[in-house]
Structure 1
Amino acid sequence: MFGLSSYPPAPKRMAAALAMAAGLGCGAPTQAQVTFDVIGPHEYELPVGFKPFNVFVQYATFQDSNRLWDSRSKRKDAPGADVIVGMSKYVRFWSPESHPDIGIAYEIIVPEVSIRSSANRSSSSGIGDPLTGPAIWYKPSANATLGFQTFMQVPVGDSDVGGGDVWKNYSSLFWDLQLGKVSYTADAGFVFFGKSTDADATPGTIFHTNHRLGYAMGDVIEPFIALDYESQAAWTNKATGARNPRNHELTAGLGVMFKYYGNQSLTLRYSGGIEGKNRAATNSLNLKYAYAW
C-alpha cells in the first residue's frame, strides 16, 4: 500500500505522509514519557517529487504516573499524577521543483494538557508550549528514506502545564526501510535546552531513540511493536541548590495501525516501562488520528 518506487498516486502519497506527520516534533510536555514516542509504523516512509499537500493530526495520550524508577532502578509506587495530553498538529508537505529528489515538511504543534495530582488532590489544565520547525529527507533507494528534522519549543504556554521559561530544540535523524510486508522506521536525536532564569541553569541534554517494527496484514490493518529509550544528563538548579541526577528509561509497546480511505489512519498503542532510573515510569495508552488533503 505504501510503495514509493516512483511518483505515487495521491492516496498512497497521502497515506505515507500521514504516518510521518504523527511523529515530527512531538516532545512530551512532562518527563513521564520518552521524547518522540508518539511515532508509529511507516512514520518516515516518505515520497519525493510530489505536489504540495497538507496533513492534520490529533494525538491523545493517557499516562498513569503513579509509579516511579528510583535511584537503584527499582519500580516503586508513589503519589504521582494522571496526565492527559492532546496535540493538534498541522503540517505542510512539498517537494521543490528545483530539487524533486528531496522532500520538505514544515509543521506547527499545539499541546493541550491536563494534569491531576494524586499527591495533593489538585488538578490543572491548559495549553502547553507549542513546537514548530522543518524536516527534510531523500530516498537513497526506492524502499528507503533518510532525513533530518529540527524543531523549536517556545515557552509561551500556560504556566501550570508548560515547560517553564526554557526554550528547547529537538534535532534528530530519521530513517525508514520497507521489506515487503515488514516495515521498520526509527529516529535518534537530542533535545537541547536554553538557560532557565528560574533555575539559573541549563537543564541536562536529552538523548532519545525510537523504533517501530510492523507487519502488514492486508491493506488496512498493521500490528507493530515499539521500543523507545531516552536519557538525560544530570544538572543542578542553582536557584534552589537541588541536584537533578541523570535519569533514563527504556520502554516497549504493542500497537495496531488502521489505514482507510487512502487519506486517513488511526493508530492505537500501549507502552510500558521496562527499565529506568530517577523518573516516572511509563504506563500509557496512546491514540492518533491523521487526515491528509
Structure 2
Amino acid sequence: MKRNPFARAALAACCLAGAGFASQALAQTTFDVIGPHEYELPTGFKPFNVFVQYGYVQDNRRVYDDKGDKVEGSGSQAIVGLSKYVRFWTPEGNPNIGLAWEAIVPEISVRDGRAGTQASGIGDPLTGFAIWMKPTPESTFGFQSFVQIPAGSTEVSDRNWKNLSSFLWDVRLPAGFGWTADAGYVFQGKRSDGLHPGNSFHTNQRLGWRANALLEPFVAFDYENAQSRGTLPSSRATDLGAGLMFHTFDNQSITLRYSASVNGRNHAANNSLNLKYAYVW
C-alpha cells in the first residue's frame, strides 16, 4: 500500500495528553499512554481532526510501601477508557508552528473482587492546548498544558482541579529509530474533602524502531515523583514497558503495550495492558 506522507505526519500527531486523568489510585503514571511518533508533529499543514480511543486494564495486586518494598495491594482491577477529540491547525501568519486543542473524557470502572464491589462512571474531563515548532526537519519541540475539571461521577472523580503542563519533543534517528518524549508537572488543587495532594514531576520516554511498513516495536520508560504535602507522603514510581505499533492505514494506527513498575514508594505497582486506536480525518 502506498503511504501518504502528510497522513503519516497527521497520524503521528494524534496524542498530546495521556493517563493520569482518572483517580490516582489507578496507578498509571501521568501521560504514560504515549507511543512512538506521539510528538512527531507537522507544521505548515491544512487543519485536520483526530479521534483517539485509549484503553487499559490495570491489576492492583501489589503496591510499594513507605520503605519502597512491594507488598500486597487491594487486589482490585481497573478498566479505563479515554476518548479524545483533537483539532489541529497552523496559524495563517506563521506556518512554522503548529497548534492543537483537545478534549478528553475518561470512562472508569474499578472492580474489587475481594469486597464484591464496583465503582464506575465518567471520570474528570480534560481540555487544553499544545504548540510546537520543528527546529530541524527531523525533530519537533513544543509545550502542552491541560486543565482537569472535577466534574466526573462522584465514585471515580479525584474531586480537585489540576493543571498538567509539559514540554514535548521528538527526534527521528538513523536506521529507522525514533525517540519521542515529554517532561513536566501536574499542579494539584485542594480536594473537596480538604486534602491537598502534592504536585508531581513526570517524564515519559519511547524508543521505537520501524521494522517495516506495518510494524514498529518499541520500549518505554515512565517515571513520576510526587511531593509530600500535609498528611500525604511523597511518592514515586519507575515503570518499564514494551509494545508494538501497527501502522495499519494512512489515517489509522493501533498500538499495544505492556507496562510494569520496577521501583517505587507509596505508589501502586503498575501492571497493565494498554491499547490505543487513532483515526485521522
**Partner Cα distance (1:107, 1:173) in 2:** 17
The alpha-carbon deviation at position 198 of structure 1 amounts to: 1.4
Which residue of structure 1 aligns with residue 7 of structure 2? 14
Which residue of structure 1 aligns with residue 106 of structure 2? 111
5+ long unaligned stretches in structure 2:
none
- Which has the larger displacement, 62-71 or 9-18? 9-18
Under a length normalisation based on structure 2, what TM-score does the superposition of the two structures give?
0.95
Which secondary structure state, in structure 1, belongs to the residue aligned with residue 34 of structure 2? coil
Identify the match of residue 136 of structure 1 among 119, 131, 135.
131
Which secondary structure state, in structure 2, belongs to the residue aligned with residue 78 of structure 1? strand
Under a length normalisation based on structure 1, what TM-score does the superposition of the two structures give?
0.91
Tell me if structure 2 keeps the 8 A contact 1:190–1:208. yes
Deviating beyond 4 angstroms after TM superposition, the runs of 4 or more aligned structure 1 residues are: none
The alpha-carbon deviation at position 25 of structure 1 amounts to: 4.9
**Partner Cα distance (1:25, 1:257) in 2:** 16
The alpha-carbon deviation at position 14 of structure 1 amounts to: 3.0
Q: Decide whether aligned partners of structure 1 residues 210 and 129 sit closer, same or farther in structure 2, where only a CA change above 3 A counts.
A: same
Identify the match of residue 214 of structure 1 among 208, 212, 223.
208
Which residue of structure 1 aligns with residue 254 of structure 2? 266
Which residue of structure 2 aligns with residue 4 of structure 1? none
Which residue of structure 2 aligns with residue 280 of structure 1? 268
Tell me if structure 2 keeps the 8 A contact 1:42–1:183. yes
Tell me if structure 2 keeps the 8 A contact 1:28–1:34. no
Which residue of structure 1 aligns with residue 169 of structure 2? 175
Q: Percent identity?
A: 52
The alpha-carbon deviation at position 19 of structure 1 amounts to: 3.2
Which secondary structure state, in structure 2, belongs to the residue aligned with residue 100 of structure 1? coil
Alignment of 1:59-98 (within 5 A): 59-98=54-93
Which residue of structure 2 aligns with residue 257 of structure 1? 245
Identify the match of residue 232 of structure 2 among 239, 244, 247.
244
**Partner Cα distance (1:178, 1:121) in 2:** 48
Which secondary structure state, in structure 1, belongs to the residue aligned with residue 134 of structure 2? strand
Alignment of 1:184-203 (within 5 A): 184-199=179-194, 201-203=195-197
**Partner Cα distance (1:268, 1:22) in 2:** 15
- Size of the alignment, in residue pairs? 278
The alpha-carbon deviation at position 10 of structure 1 amounts to: 9.2
Cα deviation code 1:101-123 (max 9, x no counterpart): 00001000000000012452210
The residue type equivalent to 2:5 in the other structure is: K
Which secondary structure state, in structure 2, belongs to the residue aligned with residue 65 of structure 1? strand
**Partner Cα distance (1:11, 1:249) in 2:** 39
Identify the match of residue 38 of structure 1 among 33, 40, 44.
33
Cα deviation code 1:24-48 (max 9, x no counterpart): 2542412211100000001100110
The residue type equivalent to 1:144 in the other structure is: S
**Partner Cα distance (1:17, 1:205) in 2:** 33
**Partner Cα distance (1:191, 1:177) in 2:** 25
Which secondary structure state, in structure 1, belongs to the residue aligned with residue 39 of structure 2? coil
**Partner Cα distance (1:259, 1:276) in 2:** 34
Tell me if structure 1 keeps the 8 A contact 2:57–2:273. yes
- Whether 2:199 is the aligned partner of 1:205: answer yes
